[in-house]
Amino acid sequence: MSVKHAISRGMELGRSAFQLGILKPAGRLAAKFRGERLRVSQPSRSVQPQTFLPARYRYYRMSLSGLAAQLQSGGFRRLIGGSPRNRVVFLAFGVGLGLIEQQLEDDRKSDAACQQIQALFQKKKFERPLKSFVSGYKLEDYVIGKQIGKGCNAAVYEAAAPFAVPRESEKCSLVELKSNSNEDSAPPRVPCPTSYPLAVKMMWNMGAGSSSEAILNSMSQELVPATPHALEQQEGELSLNGHFGWVPKTVPAHPNVIRVYRAFTADVPLLPGAAEEYPDVLPTRLNPMGMGNNRTLFLVMKNYPCTLRQYLQVCTPSRKDGTLMALQLLEGVDHLCIQGIAHRDMKSDNILLEFDSGGCPRLVITDFGCCLADKNCGLHLPYNSRWVSRGGNACLMAPEVATAIPGPGVFIDYSKADAWAVGTICYEIFGQQNPFYCPHGLEGRSYQEMQLPALPANTPADVQLVVRLLLRRNPKKRLSARVAANMLHLSLWGGRALATLDRASLSKLGDWLLCQSAFVLLKGRGPSGSSVEADLQKCFLSNIDLEDLRTAIGFLMYGRELHSAITL
C-alpha cells in the first residue's frame, strides 16, 4: 500500500464522516480505534534482528504508530475549534498513517518469512561432483576422441578418463531430435550410452608464452567456473603442473553454469583434425608454418549433446519448455551478477544443452573467455581507453556498452548487459530469427524499441512482456535478471495465487511461498535425479527478496491489465 493510497483512504473516511453529520459518533469511534492502535502498536519485548522497511517508506524511519497516535490525538483536541474541513483532514491524515503502520507490520512478517525460506534453500548445494575424479591433472590421464566443437580461441574434443566408469549419459543425437520433431507427438527422448562422458577444451596459445604461470595469468578467465579442486594442490598452494600461478575469481556451482572439473597445462598434441582445422595455431614442432606456443591450457568438463543453436535448428520447443529455457538463462545470468561477474559473450553458440529425466532441455552457460571477473572493479569496468576490451560478439552487445565513449572517469556498467542479451536470444528460443543477427537487422547502438519485431503468436504473453522490458535501451528502465526471472517464476507457478493477488496485500503471496517451499522440499525427497523445474524452483526460493517480488508482481499486473485493455 503506497503512502498516497493510505492517506487518500483516511481522507475519504474523514470526508464521509463530515458530510453525514456524524462527527461526534465518528469521533468516539475513532477514539476507540486510536486506543486499539495504541495497544497493538506498543513495541514488543521480543528481539527482532532486522526491521524491514521497504524503500518507498525510507523517509518514515520514526515509529508511524506513534506519529499516527499523535496526529489523531491532535485531531480530537481540535474538534472544539477550527474549521470542520481542517479538523477532518487532520484526523484523516492520522488515520492514514495508522493504516500505513498496519501495512508495514504485514511487510515485516512477509519479509521475515522470505528470509527464512531463503536461508533454508541456500543450504541446498547444487554441486554434484563426479566421484570418479580422484586424479586427472595430466593430459595422459584422458583418452581423447573426436573433435566436437571449435571456436575462435579453442577446440573441444570428447574424452574419457581410464579410471572413470562409463555411465548412461543424458545425451541425444541431433538426428534423433530431428526425427522426433517431425512427428506430431514426439516420443520421450531415450538417453543413449556414450563412452566419452567428458569434454576436453584445448586453448590456443598464440602469445602467452610456454610457462604455466604465464599461461594461467593470460587465460585466467577460463577458470571462472572451475571447481575448488580443478587445479592441483601441492602443500596447500595451487599449481599448474608444478608451476605456481595466480588463481582467478571463481563462481560457485549453479545448475545453469558450466563446471570445469580439471585445469592443467601440457604440451600441445597433434589431435585429430588439427592439421586441417587449425594449422596456424600449432607450434612449429607440429607445423613449421605454425605460430603457436609449445604449451597451453586444457580444461576438462562434462560432455553435452549439443549447443542451443544446434538444438533450435532441428527442434521447436513447446510454450512451457521455451519459457523454462528462457528462465534458466536468466537464473544463470543472475547467479553470475550476484558474484560480480559479467559473461559479455552471451549467444546461443555459448549455451550447451542436455535433457533431464523428463525430456526437458537443461541449459548451461559456457565459454567464459571474454568475461569480466575482476575482483577490484566488479561489474563496472573503467573505460579510459579504446584498448580496453568491452567483450565479445558485437551483434549482441547491450546499448550502454556499444555506445560507450572512452575517457577519464568513464565506467561501463555491465549489471544488466547479459540480461539484455538473453532478451535477444528469446527470439531464437521461440522460433524466430534473432533481430540483431539479420543482415539488415537492428543494431544495439542505434535501434529504437518500437523497431523490435513481435514475437510469434504462440509465445506466452508474460514472456513477451519480459522480453520487451529486457530490451529497453535505458538500463535504468530495463529489468534486472532477478526481477525478470521472478516474473517468469510467478507466471509459471503462481497460478490462482497470483490471479487473486492485490498490490497492497502480501498475505496471499506469503501463504503461496510457504506452500511452494513445502512442495519443493517434499518433492526433493523423491527418486534421485534432479529435474529442470525442481532446480529452477530451488533457485527462486533461495533468492527471494520482498522488494524484487513486489516489482515483479507490479510489472505482471500492469502487463496483464494492458493486455486485457488491448484485447477489449
* Nearest one of 325, 284, 561, 316 to 425, comparing CA atoms: 325
Q: Is residue 332 part of a domain?
A: no
Phi, psi of 380 (to 5 degrees): -115, 105
Q: Are residues 153 and 63 in the same domain?
A: no
Task: Please state whether 391 falls in left (phi above 0), alpha (psi between -120 and 50) or beta.
Answer: left
**Are residue 382 and residue 299 in the same domain, yes or no?**
no
Q: 50 in a domain, yes or no?
A: yes
Look at residue 133 and tell me if it is in a domain. no
Rounded distance between C-alpha atoms, residue 186 and residue 547, angstroms: 41
CATH code of residue 220: 3.30.200.20
Q: What is the mean pLDDT of residues 398-411?
A: 94
Of all residues in the chain, the percent with pLDDT exceeding 70 is 65
Residue 261 and residue 197 share a domain: yes
Return all residues near 49 (Cβ < 8 A) that are at least 6 apart.
none
Q: How many distinct structural domains can be found in the chain?
A: 3
Q: Which of 91, 122, 153 is the C-terminal boundary of a domain?
A: 122
Q: Are 179 and 147 in contact (CB under 8 A)?
A: no
Residue 324 lies in a domain: no
Does one domain contain both 516 and 399? yes
Are residues 286 and 412 both part of a single domain? no
Q: In this predicted model, what pLDDT tens digit does every residue of 285-332 receive, in sequence order?
A: 999 999 999 999 999 999 999 999 999 999 999 999 999 999 999 999
> Does one domain contain both 118 and 143?
no
Say what the pTM is: 0.77
Helix (H, G, I), strand (E, B) or coil at 509: helix
| 459 & 556 share domain | yes
More confident residue, 511 or 146: 146
Q: Which residues contact 63 (CB under 8 A, 6 or more apart)?
A: 41, 43, 101
C-alpha distances in Å from residue 4, one per residue of 7, 56, 107, 522? 5, 11, 17, 42
* Active site positions, annotated: 345
Q: Buried (b) or exposed (e) across 11-49, using 16+ Cβ within 10 A? A: bebbeebbeeeebeebbeebeeebeebbeebeeeeeeee
User: Does one domain contain both 380 and 491?
Assistant: yes
Counts for the chain of helices (H) and strands (E), in that order: 17, 13
Provide the mean pLDDT of the chain.
Answer: 77
Q: How high is the pLDDT of residue 441? A: 83
Distance CA 283, CA 165 (A): 34
The answer to the question of residue 359 being in a domain is yes
State whether 145 and 117 are in the same domain.
no
How confident is the model at residue 177, as a pLDDT?
A: 55
Is 396 a residue whose pLDDT tops 70? yes
Residue finishing a domain among 303, 332, 363: 303
The span from the CA of 109 to the CA of 501, in Å, is 17
Model confidence pLDDT, tens digit, residues 199-211? 999 999 988 888 8
pLDDT in tens, 115-125: 777 777 776 65
> 99, 6 in Cβ contact below 8 A?
yes
Residues constituting the chain: 568
pLDDT tens track for 167-187: 444 445 554 555 555 544 444
- Per-residue pLDDT, 364: 97
Residue 313 inside a domain? The answer is no
Residues 491 and 367 in one domain: yes
Among 69-83, 134-148, 281-295, 514-528, which is the least confidently predicted range? 69-83
Q: Does residue 484 have a pLDDT over 80? A: yes
If asked whether residues 91 and 201 sit together in one domain, one would say: no
Q: Looking at the predicted structure, is the pLDDT value of residue 451 above 80?
A: yes
- Residue 224 covered by a domain: yes
Candidates 25, 10, 31, 34; CA nearest to 89 is 10
467 and 508 both lie in a single domain: yes
Q: Which of 94, 122, 150 corresponds to the end of one domain?
A: 122
Select the more confidently predicted residue: 497 or 444: 444
Of residues 440 and 3, more confidence is placed in 440
Quote the CA–CA distance of 122 and 335 in Å, as a whole number.
Answer: 12
Supply the range of the domain harboring residue 538. 348-567
